[in-house]
Chain A
Amino acid sequence: MKPLTTGIAGIALLAVLVLAPLGLPPFAMTLLTEAVILGLFAMSLDLMFGYTRLVSFGHAAAYGLGAYACGWLLLNTGMPMLFAVFAGALLTGIVGLGVGWMCTLATGVSFSMLTLAFAQLLYAISFKWTSVTGGSDGLAGIPRTVGPFGFAALSSKAGFYYFALACLVGGFLACRALVRSPFGAVLRGIRENEAKTTALGYNTRLYKIAVVAVAYGLGGLAGGLYAPFAGFANTELLFWLLSGQVLIMVIVGGAGTLVGPILGAAFFMLMEHQLSAWTEAWALYFGLIFIAFVLFAPEGIWGLATGLATGRFRPASERH
């Protein structure tokens, strides 16, 4: 797809998203808000998975950590929601530095397993550190506090939606700037051939740690949004199943495209909602759809869309 066409498509999509609260019933707004939050979460993983080929099996750690941190702040300090969300993201990013340092000791499958181990460790802690996390009940009744200076516009349903949307758009622009920068070029170099990138004089480990920290920070932002959105944070937000689901959102949407994972998250939400309304056995059809995607549409939704727009399909081997 030509840059101009993409730009027009992007602006049109954004316009639809901005105008959505005018025409949608409340339950659809709730779904859309959650899709926006999950889109941000999936996009954060794309930095690691799509651009650097760092396969994280434990990205739920970032989401859960952001949600618990933000939720705890809102429940215990009365901090304005606007600040609490970003404080959660910042904390998660700092933790991400440590996780990145530790996990990049290994590569390949071992890297994936270390990320999984770390996420499961947090999951175990969230059960046991009851005084902070609420144990198996989680944190409930998380308020959307107003402020600063009594600024209450973000607490309403539509206001919160715009807040989440602003985070998504801001996150997208930041990620796009990042992957187009020289830093992003090194990340792609690591993806294609790490040994060669090292031979060119780059300390690839530092780049990997940095991208893990950024991905965690953005994932934590998404989690931080989820806590006041849902009003609760529980251990499921740290469970490996979510890590698997977000990886699938990225792959179904189209890894290494930033936009794709956002669409993948929306698709995931939509399928889950539609299928569960239509049949009790939604997970069965869900699984079959995923298998079909891997077999027949390896480029994901975004790959299908751009392939249709340009009238040609690029084989998977050409892009990765």
Chain B
Amino acid sequence: MSTLALLLTQTVNALSQSALLFFLGVGLTLIFGLMRIVNFAHGALYMLGAFVGYSIAAWSGSFWLALAGAPLLVGLFGAGFELTILRRLYRRDAHAFLMVTFGLALVVGEAVRLTWGSDALQVAGPPALSGVVFMLDEPFPVYRLFLVAIGVVVAVAIWQFLERARLGLLIRATSQNADMANALGVDVKMIRSCVFGIGCGLAALGGVLAAPLVTASNGMAATVIIDAFVIVIIGGMGSFLGSLIGALLIGFVQVFGNYYAPDFALAFMYLVMLAVLVMRPGGLLGKEA
């Protein structure tokens, strides 16, 4: 394989990895920006998305239906959790959220194990995307290119939603000053339920999309939650653009680190995060330390 072809394939690999990480990070950062809470259950909901997606795909035979259905169902579940549990805690200390979402992570993780068993489940990607394309005479899976494309589409969609849509405007207003937004007649409670649901739905989207690559397994929650935290911290808690930059940075560090220095790949990610935080304690685009 020529150096150029290698660089190209690794770059596209890194971009597709970044896309998956972005779905996680952006949900986490939206939730944090609006509610100032760290959602420990984000990884568990990502896993839930993968398994729900597996069931929908197995039942209907269509990956596309799973891709639409799983984020919707998990998003509704998230909104329901906010409505029934989290809502009672807004006047409390931040550590109450930490504990409740940690509890949720345990409950969801165990419920998934009880429902779908402990074995990793193979999720078939859509047949249309199962082939390979040749880039500089090297075969490359179409599915990874598809991930890059959908990452771009989702990023642009969220950006436009936050900038243009009325709900996006209300979300930004509530993030900046919830009391003022409330005084101006914004239904802050409804906004919070929506954003928590959207964030959870995005995590599930990541889970469904990752499933054909890595299989749906019980272990997928634990590793991914840390990746998501790292991305959000690097980018700056609550910053949409920051989560995009963080996802790209970590995607490249993971893929290239794994290729060139597999022994140190795991440590690289944390070193990058430490370096960023020591220089800018609030993250690259964060406002506060």
Contacts and interface: CB of A to CB of B under 8 A. Distances in A.
A binds B: yes
A112 B230 CA distance: 12
A110 B93 contact: no
Contacts of B274: 102, 114, 117-118, 121
B111 A284 contact: yes
Interface string B95-109: 110111011111101
Interface in A120-176: 120-121, 123-125, 127-128
A107 B102 contact: no
A117 B263 contact: no
A123 B222 CA distance: 14
A295 B84 CA distance: 11
Contacts of A295: 85, 88-89, 100
A154 to B, nearest CB: 36
B96 A105 contact: no
B110 A287 contact: yes
Given A114-B274, A291-B104, A298 B96 contact: yes
A317 to B, nearest CB: 8
Interface stretch (B18-26, B133-141, B170-178, B277-285): B277-285
B267 A248 contact: no
Contacts of B288: 108
Contacts of B233: 110, 113, 117
Interface residues of A, number: 46
- Interface size range on B against A: 35 or more
A196 interface: no
Interface stretch (A214-222, A226-234, A239-247): A239-247
B266 interface: yes
A294 B107 CA distance: 15
A49 to B, nearest CB: 8
Contact of A251 (B95, B229, B230): B95
A320 interface: yes
Contact of B99 (A109, A240, A294): A294
Nearest to B81: A291
B114 interface: yes
Contact of B93 (A124, A281, A283, A320): A320
A38 to B, nearest CB: 17
Interface in B251-289: 263-264, 266-267, 270-271, 273-274, 277-278, 281-283, 286, 288-289
Nearest to B107: A287
B226 interface: yes
Contact of A106 (B103, B222, B289): B289
| Best-buried of A112, A116, A286, A294 by chain B (most CB within 10 Å) | A294
A256 to B, nearest CB: 11
Contacts of A124: 266-267, 270
Given A116-B229, A117-B277, A128-B264, A110 B106 contact: no
A106 B270 contact: no
A282 B278 CA distance: 40
A288 interface: yes
Interface of B: 32, 38, 40, 85, 88-89, 91-96, 98-100, 102-107, 109-111, 113-114, 222, 226, 229-230, 233, 237, 263-264, 266-267, 270-271, 273-274, 277-278, 281-283, 286, 288-289
Given A109-B38, A247-B98, A248-B102, 4 more contacts: A105-B278, A106-B289, A283-B107, A295-B89
5 contacts: A110-B289, A121-B274, A125-B267, A281-B113, A290-B103
Q: Give the 4 A-B CB pairs with smallest separation, nearest first.
A: A287-B106, A106-B281, A290-B103, A287-B107
